[in-house]
Structure 1
């Protein structure tokens, strides 16, 4: 082989990811990032806002997020690249839009893990108060970063064990709730989680829609599955029989299936647990609305009163461990996004370096940024509120550009063959309307931070363009 050919192969290998993930691994990463019991922390707020129709809120939210999942499934088959929405907007809308989509998604991928790490630190501090919560938070970052640097398969295996634990705890809760309901009956009416408890007047669709704008945040993270598309291969004997030829064809389809399955399963879990706990909730939605301080612990309080303190503590410990591994999945996704943008020279090229098929430089960069944000928040009394208020705006903006890229690729550029107006126009347009509506309903702080982050991204994009088109320096005489 020529020296030139060897150099070209080495360069390619420096920017290639190892293909070692299967369908189960993808689902594990998606569910870890979402967390099977994600509604625990927001149940009280949703119950108060929706007038008690909290299970209906999650039914509507699942349908709403299905539009986004469908658009992801469309684009991952077209652009099987690690950059996810960054890569999709790049081909569907142009390079500038792709950069904006990736830049806004980074806000989500870097801050959601910080929130999860902080949640884990707070929970561990409650169990061992002698150790400061910022120390627990930093320790969670170090442990999960080590797993991510060890390898994507190792992290997936550890994540599977944690996910199994979370599912078992959820099943224990469901079984315990059913036993209590069978013995004592519901505190509220059987239909109240779907129709409201009636303590704030008649059923109001506007109240449900208002709560949906908060509930969709429980689903943020399932989209991270798409960032692993370049690491999906065929397992076992089938892979050995086929060699390497079938891996690239199978990866996008597996990712598409994992996206849709993960969202559907999360929706079922969210609806089931909120329906059951709403039946056991002794505090009316009107009283929760009048006492915002009780909303954060409403789920735990209902479990404590109806079942017992033992289940309250079990759920709390499960959430503490699960939060750290949700951050693991988020950190891995952030690393893949940084890797993809570095490979396309939209961010420093060093981020595209791989070591044994892993984007370790990008992972370390994501870990450092997340560590700084998480520890900063852990040392402040209002740190959690400040982080939570802004994590959604980046993802929702990226989702909007995702829907636009489906229309751009299939309907405008007609690069995907025959146009299906239902799949390529109606569904993504409705999805974009939903995400824009949620952005409008977001907090003022989130909108301001999102605008500032977007402005910083546009300045970065402009600076790179000016540097690229700058005339060469005059030769020194």
Structure 2
């Protein structure tokens, strides 16, 4: 394989936030609305509120760790460097399940949209066409990917905003509950906390993406942008989900008006604003799906890149960066190949597996803050540092743990099977655990992965260096 290049540092704050929001797919709130409304007995906004609270705590942990380890790799890198290389691999392997499957989910959703528009065409045509176009765009340029993602994201957010405006008009005219502002969508008779927690595990699928922005650390103009980008992505995405789900719940207090509960987005558009509005609404949903496809495809290829550069995946293939495009070409093509499986699986099954991997990653990122600051570098010296480095991440770990145990059985079984495969692979890689994962490291490969950072306007305070593992 040709000599490898490096990732290019050309992403600013809003480009990174846009990629995160694009990954999160703002219109997904309407795709899952019927399922979550049924699960929570008409309290979808509460499920989103619970999930948002959990994600805010976790976002703080991601922000702290990305400054300590300013490289792509996310939960894999943080666990590897603060706890154990072997455990880090298993966390990364589990995270790969949701990162690899998310591009496929977007391909699957795009296929479903196209099937509804052109029912006579064979489904595989849309899967292949979508995959080829997405793979080509991501492979050519990260800057171009971010720009196209931004255009699609603006269109999707505009249509979600328009939905909320039309919903207010309809509520004022007596449709749905007939009330614009009410606490009913959050809590009313028949709503139970156990059901809300289960609903929150479902809507966690909507938030996956804020953590993925850490994959662009090596392409950010400066690492100081990353903590702010992570928090802004969570808060902006959470606000969109909360407001949109609130007005949807007020317009549709139950699922009695939907013929298709599993994905009522087209019917929500039709019942809210008529056929013309539904057309634009579907177009926005398709745009959001494409934006998410671009962002998720780009991010997982970078996680594979880090694992390749670390040697836990074959370095020559997974660690390769195209010298002209500055993108991990092999990984991008591999993710495209995985997307082709969208011809075979159902949306419900794949989304369940994604939540398993995501919640494992979120839990361990919170734990790595405690491991690094409290034990490895011993920076917990007063009440303030104890609050920041122990209490906050501990709350985040507990909350994500609660959501994890509330997952559906399908997600738990599928996740455990995937984890078992990872354990077997690790055993083979380390010759029955006789070699340490660290023995595969190549410091030069890690150092060459990205271009040097541009000098920031103000020098950041130096972080304590982690001890060698």
Q: Report the TM-score, using the length of structure 2 for normalisation.
A: 0.86
The residue aligned with 1:187 is 177
Shift of 1:186: 4.9
CA distance in 1, matches of 2:53, 2:327: 35
The residue aligned with 2:369 is 406
2:305 to 339, 347, 362: 339
The residue aligned with 2:25 is 35
Larger Rg: 1
2:336 to 343, 364, 367: 367
SS in 2 for 1:82: coil
Matched, 1:284 2:247: no
SS in 2 for 1:354: coil
More moved, 69-78 vs 440-449:
440-449
The residue aligned with 1:262 is 233
Shift of 1:358: 1.7
More moved, 156-165 vs 442-451:
442-451
CA distance in 1, matches of 2:191, 2:133: 47
CA distance in 2, matches of 1:126, 1:298: 13
The residue aligned with 2:448 is none
- 8 Å contact kept, 2:137–2:144: yes
Which structure 2 residues correspond to residues 43-54 of structure 1 after superposition, within 5 A? 43-54=33-44
Cα gap change, 1:368/1:300 in structure 2, threshold over 3 Å: closer, same or farther?
closer
Matched, 1:324 2:287: no
CA distance in 1, matches of 2:197, 2:91: 26
Structure in which a larger fraction of residues adopt helix: 1
Matched, 1:354 2:316: no
The residue aligned with 1:305 is 271
- 8 Å contact kept, 2:94–2:419: yes
2:242 to 253, 271, 287: 271
Shift of 1:99: 0.7
CA distance in 2, matches of 1:306, 1:158: 29
2:69 to 74, 79, 82: 79
- 8 Å contact kept, 1:55–1:193: no
CA distance in 2, matches of 1:320, 1:132: 19
Shift of 1:213: 2.0
Structural RMSD (CA): 2.3
Cα gap change, 1:418/1:331 in structure 2, threshold over 3 Å: closer, same or farther?
farther
Cα gap change, 1:318/1:386 in structure 2, threshold over 3 Å: closer, same or farther?
same
- In the TM superposition, what whole-angstrom CA distance separates every residue of 1:69-113 from its partner, at most 9, and x where no partner exists? 111001001000111111111111121111112111110111111
Structure 2 unmatched ranges of 5 or more: 436-469
- In the TM superposition, what whole-angstrom CA distance separates every residue of 1:401-453 from its partner, at most 9, and x where no partner exists? 21121111111212657572212111222212222222212122211111111
CA distance in 1, matches of 2:360, 2:19: 22
The residue aligned with 1:100 is 90
Number of aligned pairs? 428
Structure 1 unmatched ranges of 5 or more: 1-10, 234-250, 378-382, 471-477
The residue aligned with 1:455 is 420
CA distance in 2, matches of 1:148, 1:298: 30
- 8 Å contact kept, 1:123–1:317: no
- 8 Å contact kept, 1:120–1:319: no
- 8 Å contact kept, 2:45–2:242: yes
Shift of 1:322: 1.9
Matched, 1:216 2:218: no
Shift of 1:116: 0.9
Which structure 2 residues correspond to residues 387-406 of structure 1 after superposition, within 5 A? 387-406=350-369
- 8 Å contact kept, 2:363–2:400: yes
CA distance in 2, matches of 1:202, 1:430: 28
CA distance in 2, matches of 1:14, 1:77: 26
Shift of 1:367: 1.9
2:147 to 134, 157, 162: 157
Shift of 1:127: 0.8
CA distance in 1, matches of 2:37, 2:278: 19
Shift of 1:159: 0.8
SS in 1 for 2:196: helix
SS in 2 for 1:466: coil
CA distance in 2, matches of 1:103, 1:328: 22
- 8 Å contact kept, 2:62–2:227: yes
Matched, 1:148 2:138: yes
Matched, 1:117 2:86: no
2:403 to 435, 438, 452: 438
Q: Report the TM-score, using the length of structure 1 for normalisation.
A: 0.84
The residue aligned with 2:344 is 376
SS in 2 for 1:324: helix
